[in-house]
Amino acid sequence: MKKKIFIIVGDNLGLSRDQIDYEDLEIIKFPVLVDGKEYRESDEYSANWLVSKFEKENIVAKSSTLPQNDVVEAVERNYRNYDLIIHVVMSSGLSSASWKVAENVRKQYENVIPIINVDSRQALIGVGNVLLGIIDFIKKSDDLSIEEIEKLCQQVVENTYSYYIFPDLNYLYKGGRIGRAQSLMGSLLHIIPIIGIMGDDPEGIVSSLGKGRTFKQVNNQVVELIKAKMQEKSASKIRRAIPVSGYGEKNKDVANELIEKIKALPCDDLVIGKPGLVDAVYCGPGAYGVSILL
Amino acid sequence: MATEIDVNEINERIENIHRYLNKHKEYLNSLNVFPVPDGDTGLNMVLTLQGAMANMKNFENQSMLPGEYLKNFAEQMLLNSRGCSGVILSLFMQGFAEVVKNSDFSKQNVYRAIENGYRNAYEGTENPREGTMLTLMRALKEKYAELMKEEEDPIVIISKTIPYLKEVLNQTPEMLPVLKQAGVIDSGGAGFVVFIQGINRELQHNGFGTNGLSVPTLLKIGKATRKHIKMRLSKFKNTPFAHLISNIDFSRIQNSRLQEILQNVRKITTNLSVNNHVNSKKTLQKRIINELEEINNLWNPDIKQKYCTEFVLESDKIASKEQLREMISAFGDSLIIIQAGNKFKVHIHTNKPDDIFDRVQPYGELVFTKVDDMKKQHRNFISDDVIDYRRDKSIFCIVSGKGFAEILQKLGADDILCYGKNKPSVDQLAKGLDNLQAKNIIAAADDGDILMALKYAVSLCKSNVYIVESDNPIALIGMMMGISKDYDIMTMFEEAMKNINTIPFCGIARANREVLADNEMTVRKNDYFAVYKKKIVLSNPNMEELAVEAIRQLANGCGLVTLYKGLPSRKENGLVDRLKEQFPDTDFEEYYGGQYNYNYYITFE
C-alpha cells in the first residue's frame, strides 16, 4: 500500500507554495533578524524589501535557525494522518544547527512516526530542487519501503547542483557561509565570483567554481560548468532547472540572459524560482543563479 | 551494547594522534630508505591521517557508534592515503574497521580486528616483504594474542604490546638487508609503532629519537670519515677530525651502522680494544672504508622508476583490482591497488605516469591524481638544506611590476617574485621556488626571456615544478582567473595553460628609436605605438589618441576595457575619464600595473 507522506521544508527554498504541486507539505518560515528585530517572509517583508534596506540603509541582517518548536508543531499537527514524514533540511555543512534541530525532532518522535531527515546539501533554490525531485518519485512510485525512500532521496541530493553569481560575497561571508569560496574575496581586481553547492560534495558547503570580469563571461562559464557536469554524470538532459534572480533591480538583464542560455540546454522542466526573504540575507543585491537536477 | 559517541570528541582524539605522529614526522622521514630513499614516509602517514580527518569534519556535531565512526574513518584514510606507508596503514585500518564495525570492542573481537587488518594489508601489498610495517602488524597480532591470556582490557593489552613492537622494530635491519646496509630501522614499521603509541598515549611524548642528527649530516660525517681515514693511520690520528670522532656524542647518531663504524674509527685512533698489530688495524681501516662506501651508495641509489604516482579511478567497467593490476602492472613497480566499491585507489612507481592515466581513463573517471618526482625528493632528502614541505601545491608568479604583483597575490598566487627592471637570476628563481616549501608548484613569468632561467632554476630546486609558458602579465591574470587550488596539481596545470591566452589585450609603449613594423608602418622615435598579438598595429605621437584608436579598432564590442598603468605613465591622470566620454557604452576600469616597458596594457573583455 502506498505510504501517506508528509513533507516539511524551510522557506529558504527559492520557490513559492503555489509552485509546489504537493498537498501534504508545510513550509516553515525562517526568522530573519534585521538590526535585532525579527521578521518572517510576508507580502510586506520580502527579498526586495531587505535588498532595498541593504542598498539604502546601513543595516545588519541575520537569519536564525529554524525554531525547533515550529518543527515540532508541524509534526504534532500532522503525524496522526500520515505513515511517514520527510523533512528536507538545508545543507548540514552550511547550518549544522538546522540539522541538529531536525535530528532532535526525529529522535523525539522515533517511537511515534518515522521521520526521514534529508540533508539536501543545498541552500536556496537547491533545496527547492531537492524537494521537487523527492516529490517526483513519491508521486511516481507506489509501495516503497523507508529504506528505498531514503535511498531515492539521497540520489536526488547527489544529482542536484547549484550555481550562483553573487556580485558581493560579503553578505555570504558575514552570514558565516562563505566556505571554500573565501578564496574569491579580497581581490584588487574587480571580479565577479561564481560559487556553487554541488550535491556530490559530501561536505555540502559553498565552493568557488570560477570567476570572471564581466557578467557575459560568468554566464558563459556557468553554462560550460553545467555542460561539464552533465558529461561527467553521463546525463543527456537536465531533469529540472530552477533559475532565480530578483534580489533587487540590479542585474535583471544579465540574469535573464542566463535563463535564455539555460533554455537552450536540453531540459525537461524549467521552473522560475522566487527570491525569498531569508535567501536575501546571504545573496545581497543583484545575485542570481540556477540549480539543476540531473 | 555500545553507545553512540560524540563525533567532535573522537575527532579531537584523532587530532591528538595525528599531532603525535606529526611530532615524529621528521624522524620517520630520516629513516626512509626502502623501497626508495625519498624521505617522505612520515609526511605520507601524516597526510593520510590529515586527509581522513578533514573529511570526518562532515560528521561534526553528530553522534554515531564507535564502530561506525571507525569504518567511515578507515574509508577516508584509504581514499586519502599517500605513498606506500600511507596506503599500507590504511589497508590495516580498513581490515580492522571491517571487524569492529559492529562496535564490539571486546578483547577477542579486537584481536580478530587486528588479525584482519594485518591480513588485509598483507594481501593488498604487491610483493610483501619482511622487515617492513607488515612485520610490525603481525608482531602486534601475535603479542596481543599472547597477552590476551593474562589481561582482560584490550587497551591494557595494546599498551603492553608496545615494548615488544619496539624490539621487533629494532630487528628489522636483520630481516631486510637494505636497512642494515643503510644503518636504519624500517621507517614504515617505526611509523606504525608511533601510530600505535599515539593511540595508546595520545600526547604523552616518549622521546622516540627526536634529537638525532639529520640524514644529510650523517651522510656528511660518513663522507668526511671516508676521506680522512684513507690517509696513513699515524697521520690520521693527529688530525682535528680524529679528535672530533673521539668526542662525538654517539646517542645522537641514530644510524646503527654508522654508529658502529665510528666506534671502530675511535678504536683505531685511541688504540682501544684493537690488536695493536699494524695489519689488523689496516684490515679494520679497509673494512671501514668499504662499509662507508656501501652506505653512501645505498643512500644514493639509481632510482629506476622516477615518479611516485597515485590516482583514484571511479569505474563501473573494471570488475576487480586484479583486472586493473593486469592493465597497469607493466608500467612500473611498488604497485598497490585498493578497491572500495567502484573506486580504485592506486599507488605505483613509474616513469610514465601519463601513459598510465591514458590507459585507465577510457574505463572511468580519474577523480584524483598525484605525481611526485622521487628523484627530486631524494635530492632534497639528502641535501644539507633539506626542505620540509609545508604545502602540497603552490602558485609562483614572476613579474616586473609591483602593481601586477599585488593584483596576482590577491587573486591567489602564493608568492610573487617582483624583479623590477632587471630580470631575475637562476639563483633568485631557485630560492623563490624553494621558499614556497611546496611539493608541487605552478610557476609562470610575465616575460618569455625568463623562461630559460626558470627552466634551469627548476632543475636545481627541490619541488615538482610545472612551468606555464607565459610571456606577459595579462596571461598571468588570465591564468589566475581560470584556476582553483581545489583542483589537483595536474588539472591546475592544464587549466593554467588553457587560460593564459584568454584575455585579448594590447600594450602601449614609446619608441626609443625609429622602428619599421611588419606592416611597413614606420614608428618614429618618441612616438607611441600599440602592440597587439605581438605585432605593432598602430602608432601616434599622442598617446591618448593612440589609446582611443586602439580601443576603436580592437575592442570589438566588448563590455569591459581595463587599463593597467605602467611605470612610464605613473604620473598621468584622467585618461580613463576621457575614454569613458568617448565610449559611453563601454565600462572602463583602471589599475596600477607598475610594468617598466609599457605605458599601458589595455585588455578587452
Nearest to A207 among B481, B486, B562 (CB): B486
Contact between B61 and A207 using a beta-carbon 8 Å cutoff: no
Residue with cell 514524514: A85
- My answer on whether A27 and A152 are in the same domain is yes
- For residue B564, the chain A residue with the least C-alpha distance is A189
Q: What is the pLDDT of residue A130?
A: 98
The tally of domains found in chain A comes to: 2
Nearest alpha carbon to residue B595 among B510, B512, B526? B510
Q: H or E stretch including B328?
A: helix B321-328
Substitution target in A121, A190, A213, A218 with the highest count of B β-carbons within 10 Å is A213
Q: What is the dihedral of CA B142, B143, B146, B151, to 10 degrees?
A: -140
Q: What is the pLDDT of residue B305?
A: 87
Closest approach of A93 to chain B, Cα-based (Å): 7
- My answer on whether A143 and A270 are in the same domain is no
- Give B388's pLDDT tier (boundaries 50, 70, 90): low
DSSP 8-state code for residue B331: G
Substitution target in B56, B481, B556, B589 with the highest count of A β-carbons within 10 Å is B481
Interacting residues of A41 by C-beta distance below 8 A, sequence separation 6+ = A11, A29, A30, A32, A276, A277, A278
What residues of A are in contact with residue B60 (Cβ under 8 Å)? 96
Range from A198-212, B115-129, B194-208 carrying the lowest mean pLDDT:
B194-208
Report pLDDT digits (tens) over B280-296.
Answer: 777 888 888 888 888 87
How much of chain B, in percent, has pLDDT values that exceed 90? Answer: 37
Query: How many angstroms separate the CA atoms of A256 and B53, rounded?
Result: 42
- My answer on whether A17 and A143 are in the same domain is yes
What residues of A are in contact with residue B411 (Cβ under 8 Å)? 187, 189, 191
Closest approach of A225 to chain B, Cα-based (Å): 12
Contact between B560 and A208 using a beta-carbon 8 Å cutoff: no
CB-based contact B205:B268 (threshold 8 Å): no
Nearest to B407 among A183, A188, A213 (CB): A188
Query: How many angstroms separate the CA atoms of A166 and B193, rounded?
Result: 50
Query: How many angstroms separate the CA atoms of A119 and A93, rounded?
Result: 9
Q: H or E stretch including B191?
A: helix B187-201
Q: What is the pLDDT of residue B380?
A: 67
Q: What is the CATH number of the domain that holds A204?
A: 3.30.1180.10
- For residue A104, the chain B residue with the least C-alpha distance is B62
Q: In chain B, positions 438-477, which contact chain A (CB-CB < 8 Å)?
A: 477
DSSP 8-state code for residue B361: G
Query: How many angstroms separate the CA atoms of B253 and B9, rounded?
Result: 39
- My answer on whether A120 and A248 are in the same domain is no
Domain boundary among A117, A132, A158: A158
Q: What is the pLDDT of residue B188?
A: 93
In a domain, A190, yes or no: yes
Q: What is the pLDDT of residue B212?
A: 66
Nearest alpha carbon to residue A271 among A7, A13, A12? A13
- My answer on whether A91 and A136 are in the same domain is yes
Contact between A213 and B591 using a beta-carbon 8 Å cutoff: no
Assign 3-class secondary structure to B108-151: HHHHHHHHHHHHHHHHHECCCCCCCHHHHHHHHHHHHHHHCCCC
Query: Which residue segment(s) compose the domain that A265 sits in?
Result: 160-293
Out of B336-345, B356-365, B459-468, the most confident range is B356-365
Domain boundary among A104, A134, A158: A158
- Give B211's pLDDT tier (boundaries 50, 70, 90): low
- For residue A232, the chain B residue with the least C-alpha distance is B365
Cα torsion A38, A41, A47, A53: sign: negative
Q: What is the pLDDT of residue B33?
A: 74
CB-based contact B400:B418 (threshold 8 Å): yes
Nearest to B605 among A103, A208, A214 (CB): A214
Contact between B605 and A100 using a beta-carbon 8 Å cutoff: no
| In the predicted structure, residue B252 carries a pLDDT above the cut 50 | yes
- Give B206's pLDDT tier (boundaries 50, 70, 90): very low
- My answer on whether A170 and A276 are in the same domain is yes
Alpha-carbon separation of residue B121 from B5, B140, B347 (angstroms): 28, 13, 14
List the beta bridge partners of residue B160. Answer: none
Q: What is the CATH number of the domain that holds A128?
A: 3.40.50.10170
Domain boundary among A158, A187, A205: A158
What residues of B are in contact with residue A210 (Cβ under 8 Å)? 481-482, 484
- My answer on whether A119 and A209 are in the same domain is no
Who has greater pLDDT, B5 or A245? A245
Q: Mean per-residue pLDDT for B111-132?
A: 89
- For residue B495, the chain A residue with the least C-alpha distance is A210
Query: Tens-of-pLDDT digits for all 294 residues of chain A?
Result: 788 999 999 999 999 999 999 999 999 999 999 998 999 999 999 999 999 999 999 888 999 889 999 999 999 999 999 999 999 999 999 998 999 999 999 999 999 999 999 999 999 999 999 999 999 999 998 889 999 999 999 999 999 999 999 999 888 888 778 777 777 877 889 999 999 999 998 889 998 899 999 999 999 999 999 999 999 899 999 999 999 999 999 999 999 999 999 999 999 999 999 999 999 999 999 999 999 999
Report pLDDT digits (tens) over B568-598.
Answer: 999 888 899 999 999 998 999 999 999 998 9
Q: How far is CA A156 from the centre of its chain?
A: 13
Substitution target in A100, A182, A188, A215 with the highest count of B β-carbons within 10 Å is A188
Which residue intervals of A161-287 are DSSP H helices?
170-174, 215-232, 252-263, 277-283
Nearest to B605 among A99, A203, A217 (CB): A217
Q: Does B61 contact chain A (CB < 8 Å)?
A: yes
Q: Taking each helix axis from N to C terminus, what angle separates A215-232 and A252-263, rounded to the nearest 10 degrees?
A: 30
Strand ranges for chain A from DSSP E: 5-10, 25-28, 32-34, 37-39, 61-63, 84-89, 115-119, 160-165, 192-198, 207-212, 240-244, 288-293
What is this structure's pTM?
0.62
**Which 3 state secondary structure label does DSSP give B390?**
coil
| In the predicted structure, residue B279 carries a pLDDT above the cut 80 | no
What is the total residue count of chain B?
605
Contact between B410 and A96 using a beta-carbon 8 Å cutoff: no
Report pLDDT digits (tens) over B403-447.
Answer: 999 999 999 999 999 999 888 888 889 999 988 988 889 999 999
Q: In chain B, positions 365-384, which contact chain A (CB-CB < 8 Å)?
A: 365
ipTM of this model? 0.80
- My answer on whether A203 and A273 are in the same domain is yes
| In the predicted structure, residue B207 carries a pLDDT above the cut 50 | no
Q: What is the pLDDT of residue B273?
A: 46
- Give B517's pLDDT tier (boundaries 50, 70, 90): confident
Q: What is the pLDDT of residue B234?
A: 72
In a domain, A52, yes or no: no
First to last CA, chain B: 65
**Residue B585, amino acid:** D
Contact between A180 and B61 using a beta-carbon 8 Å cutoff: no
CB-based contact B5:B107 (threshold 8 Å): no
φ and ψ at residue B306, rounded to 5 degrees: -80, -35
- My answer on whether A180 and A150 are in the same domain is no
Closest approach of A215 to chain B, Cα-based (Å): 9
Q: Mean per-residue pLDDT for B179-186?
A: 85
What residues of B are in contact with residue A188 (Cβ under 8 Å)? 406-407, 410, 591
Contact between B60 and A208 using a beta-carbon 8 Å cutoff: no
User: In whole angstroms, how large is the CA radius of gyration of chain A?
Assistant: 18
- Give B210's pLDDT tier (boundaries 50, 70, 90): very low
Q: Does B8 contact chain A (CB < 8 Å)?
A: no
Q: Does B482 contact chain A (CB < 8 Å)?
A: yes
Who has greater pLDDT, B105 or B251? B105
In a domain, A16, yes or no: yes
In a domain, A147, yes or no: yes
In a domain, A196, yes or no: yes
Closest approach of A21 to chain B, Cα-based (Å): 33
- CB count within 10 Å of CB B303 equals 17
**Which 3 state secondary structure label does DSSP give A208?**
strand
In a domain, A270, yes or no: yes
Cα torsion B129, B130, B131, B136: sign: positive
Closest approach of A10 to chain B, Cα-based (Å): 21
Interacting residues of B394 by C-beta distance below 8 A, sequence separation 6+ = B414, B415, B436, B438, B440, B441, B442
Q: Mean per-residue pLDDT for B43-54?
A: 86
Alpha-carbon separation of residue B12 from A206, A236, B69, B105 (angstroms): 24, 44, 13, 20
Q: What is the dihedral of CA B464, B469, B470, B471, to 10 degrees?
A: 120
Q: Is B114 exposed, middle or buried (0-12, 13-18, 19+ CB in 10 A)?
A: buried
Residue with cell 590495516: B92
Closest approach of B153 to chain A, Cα-based (Å): 33
- My answer on whether A24 and A86 are in the same domain is yes
- My answer on whether A124 and A137 are in the same domain is yes
> Chain A residues within 8 A (CB-CB) of chain B?
92-93, 96, 99-100, 103, 180, 183, 186-191, 202-204, 207-217, 232
Q: Record the cell numbers describing residue B286, joined without a space.
A: 679497509
For chains A and B, CB pairs below 8 A equal: 55
Given its phi and psi angles, is residue A114 left (phi above 0), alpha (psi -120 to 50 degrees) or beta? beta
Q: Does B481 contact chain A (CB < 8 Å)?
A: yes
Q: Mean per-residue pLDDT for B547-553?
A: 95
- For residue A195, the chain B residue with the least C-alpha distance is B484
- Give B151's pLDDT tier (boundaries 50, 70, 90): confident
Q: Does B149 contact chain A (CB < 8 Å)?
A: no
- My answer on whether A154 and A170 are in the same domain is no
Contact between B58 and A202 using a beta-carbon 8 Å cutoff: yes
- For residue A210, the chain B residue with the least C-alpha distance is B482
Cα torsion B431, B435, B436, B438: sign: positive
In a domain, A45, yes or no: no
Taking all residues of chain B, what is their mean pLDDT, rounded to a whole number?
A: 85
Q: What is the pLDDT of residue B461?
A: 83
Q: Taking each helix axis from N to C terminus, what angle separates B133-147 and B107-124, rounded to the nearest 10 degrees?
A: 160
Nearest alpha carbon to residue B264 among B238, B234, B229? B229
In a domain, A204, yes or no: yes
